Structures are given as C-alpha cells and as structure tokens.
Amino acid sequence: MKKITQISTKTILLLGGLVLGLTGCSDDDDTANNAAPIITSQSLKMDLTVRKKENAGVFMQAFYWDTEPAGEWYNEVSKRIEDYKASGINRIWLPAPGKGASGGLSMGYDPSDYFDVGEFDQHGTIKTRFGSRQELEDLIQKAHANDIEVIADIVMGHNSGGGKQANPFRGGTEVYSLFNESNGNASGKFNRSNEHFHPNDIHDHDEQALFFAETDLCHDQQYVQDWLWGRDDSVAEFYKKTLGFDGWRFDYVKSFAPKWVKSWNDKVGGFSVGENFDGNQQVLKDWVDASGSPAFDFACFYRLDETLDRANDLTALGEADNMLRKLDPANAVTFVANHDTEKDVNPENRISYNNKLLAYSYILTHDGYPTIFYLDYEAFKGQLKTLIQIYTTLAVGDVEILETNKDEYIMKRSGSGDNPGLILYMNISKQSKQRVVKTNWANKTLVDYTDNSRATPTTDAEGNATLQAPAGGYAIWSVTKE
C-alpha cells in the first residue's frame, strides 16, 4: 500500500508540473492552439438590464415592528435609497408619521396628533420613533431624486392619547376622547371631542369590526372628513403637498367603510393600497370594487403559507380564483411578510424563514404588484435582487399553469413582443426534480436565470424541453441570448 501511494504521489507531481507548464503558455500560444472559451450558464444569459418593462417596479415595506435605533429610522432608510433604486424598487412604504400616544416608542398605530411628525414636545418626546420632521422631509426628497415614490401609512380608524371626557352616549362614562393643545394634540389642528367618536348622535358605529371601540373615529361626521382629507389644510393635503408623500397605505380598513378611502383618493389622489386583513379573495375583491383602491392580497399570502408550511403540498396554488391576483391582478398587492405577520406567534399567520425565497419566487414571477419586506431584503439580498430583476424584465404575458401537484408547481408567462417571458419551476421535495415541459420556444437553448440550476436544456421543434428544479427550491427558465 505504501509503494502504491508513493507512485501515485509521483504521478500527481508529474501531472501537476504538466499543468503548470500548460498554464504558463503565452497568449500567442493560446491563440495558436485556438483554445475554446469555457461556456457557462452565466455567459448564455440575455442582458436583462436593457429589457426592463414599462412602468416596472417593486414595493418595499421600509420598516419592521419595533425598528431600531429609535429616533433614527428615517436616516437608516435614507442610507439605502440608492441601493433600492439599483434593485428596482419604485415605491417605499413608511410607517405612520404622526406622533403616537406611546411617544418615542410608538410605531404609529396609536395616533394622537396627525400633524406632529416630529417637531412638537409631547408624549415625552419631540422626535417620533422614526425621527424628526426634517429627517422625514430629507428622506422623501432623496427618494424622489432617485425616482422612488414614498407611501405614508394612514391610520384613520381610531385614535389614542387624548384626555378623559365624559361621553353622554356611553351613559356618562369617561373615555379618552378629548384632543386639544393640552391633550395629545399640540399642533392644535384637528382637535377632537366625544362627538367625533362612536357612539354619537349619528350612529353607534360605522362598521362592525371596531379595533378601539371607545375611540373609533366617526367618518360620517363632516368635521372628521374635512380634517382628514376635505380641507385644503387637511391631514392628506399636509402629507402630500407639504411633506411630499406620493400615496397611501390605509391601515385596518375593516374598521370603516370603503367609501371613505374612495373619498380620500378622489380628493387628493396618489397610489393607494388597503390593509383588509382577510384570507377570502372575494372579500378582498368586493372591497377593491367599493373603494376603488388596490388591496394587499392576503388570500395569496395565506395560500402560500398553507401550501409551503402547513400542508406541504403545492396543489392549491393551481386552484382557480383562490387569490385576489387571480380575480383582479391589476389591484392585487402581493406580499410574503409584513410587520404584523413577522411578530405573530401563530405560525399559521406567517411564512417560515426556510420557505421565504420559494414564496418570493412565486410573487416575483406572477402578476400583481409584489412587496418586499425590509427584514427579508436584508436577509436574502442577493437572491431577491435577482428575483426583482426577473420580475421587472421577463415576468410579462399571460399566466398559464403547466403542472401542479404535491411537490411541484410549474407556471409559464407567455411573454410579449420580443420579450420571451419565463417558466417558474418550484419544487418542495427533498430531491431534485425534472419534467418535460411544453414551452413557447422552439429549437432554443434555455438557462435558469436564478443560477439554481446549471443545466442548459434545448427545446425541440415543438418547444418541448426537460427542465429541472433543485430540492426544496426553484428555477426560472427563459431563452439564452441570440
């Protein structure tokens, strides 16, 4: 055994010397020998930077629950604007900007003073949790300079942080419904009292699902409408014309009628999306029709959570009309995670970390307007940059499901004009999969634009090819460059 080992070592040294001798050849020697270049899947790809589709872009939720460092979040986001632009982000969603009842700890969902965006000393702080008014305006200006719109979170269903006041419609019970310069509204704009909340002399409530019943704003009160969006110096006009926001994310829209969203948008305009926290696609569609606004596709979110995490079965992804994006793709804002789902202890209300990229491969190849969650972008930046580029270039044309079963989901985008489209192959099994697929491309070499597969299959005259997907992963196929 020792003698064989010694001979093998000498042989290796001899071969090593031969390799060194070959690699030491001059460029002229290489040319003389007509050395062929190494062909890789990367070298076969089309240049996607010149194929960006019109009005393409992706939504970024630029915060998470309990952002840190407190008081500096606008500056943190500002540092990332150039990177967002380079990645293909065209809108960022910021948290509710007004001063909340919990002061420097507030995430904005306990609104007290809508006009205090970090300049009045109240609730124990001047800055909001996210920064000062100047820092907010600087961030918005920087985003605009990079062609990125900025969306404000609008919490207009309930208020917090006012002073105690007896409510005659509650039998004289005191509730925190007094908002003025001395009670949680230092700006002095949109002062409120018990008549502006429920119950009042108009009705007991406007919608059934009351989040904070004792301080649920009554939008049927003309005074409330005027200050929220109707006046020239309303909350909406201040956010848009003075601060520079470009649109709106409406929080918890179950707590007020969809007509109020329509009224806000008719008055001030801009992009908008509603948070209708409901997994029923028809409920979402009905709200979209009534409000005239897009909505987050919670039905899509729950189908992804169900198939990837709970059922471990992709079959439901192929069922007809079980998502808002299938009923109304133009008004479906898809997502994989948000500030609420990520802090929810119930595993049925969030998609597991291990399946995040599979879920993103779905929303970033299908129709709908996809949202990237801040923490996910930080965790999977390289992969998400690739998926965003694919979405903004190749994800065009009709959606056709080619195969769906327990382990596999294969979908084709038909393309448009000289844009070839793509094929998504998801595989949640523990081994790699391959399948003969009918493509739109005859006699073409294909490549996986995610680099999760290094195969380069060729289609036949009918467009058939054997495509692959890695275990527990995905591949996105399209044609190679000409």
Detail the residues annotated as belonging to a binding site: 213, 226, 232, 407
Say if residue 205 is exposed, middle or buried (CB neighbours under 10 Å; 0-12, 13-18, 19+). middle
Query: What CA–CA distances, in Å, run from 25 to 2, 12, 29, 36, 76?
Result: 35, 20, 6, 15, 52
Which long-range contacts link 417-423 to residues 24+ away (Cβ below 8 Å)? 419/51, 419/53, 419/393, 419/394, 420/394, 420/478, 420/479, 421/394, 421/395, 421/396, 421/397, 421/478, 422/365, 422/390, 422/394, 422/395, 422/449, 422/476, 422/477, 422/478, 423/467, 423/476, 423/477, 423/478
- Rounded Cα gap, residues 463 and 480, in angstroms: 14
- The tokens describing 196, both together, are 């502006």
Active site annotation includes 403: no
The residue among 340, 324, 323, 338 whose CA lies nearest residue 291 is 324
- Rounded Cα gap, residues 155 and 150, in angstroms: 16
Candidates 113, 116, 149, 251; catalytic one: 251
Q: Is residue 446 a contact partner of residue 480, using CB atoms and an 8 Å limit?
A: yes
The residue among 95, 106, 112 whose CA lies nearest residue 186 is 112
Candidates 135, 275, 305, 376; catalytic one: 275
Secondary structure percentages of the chain, helix, strand, coil, to 5 = 35, 20, 40
Considering Cα of 49, then 148, then 87, then 58, what sign does the dihedral take?
negative
Roughly what angle, to the nearest 10 degrees, separates helices 281-291 and 258-268?
A: 40
Per the annotation, binding residues for Ca(2+) are: 213, 226, 232, 407
Strand partners, 378: none
Active site annotation includes 251: yes
47 contacts: CB under 8 Å, gap ≥ 6: 481
State which amino acid sits at residue 231.
R
- Give catalytic residue positions: 251, 275
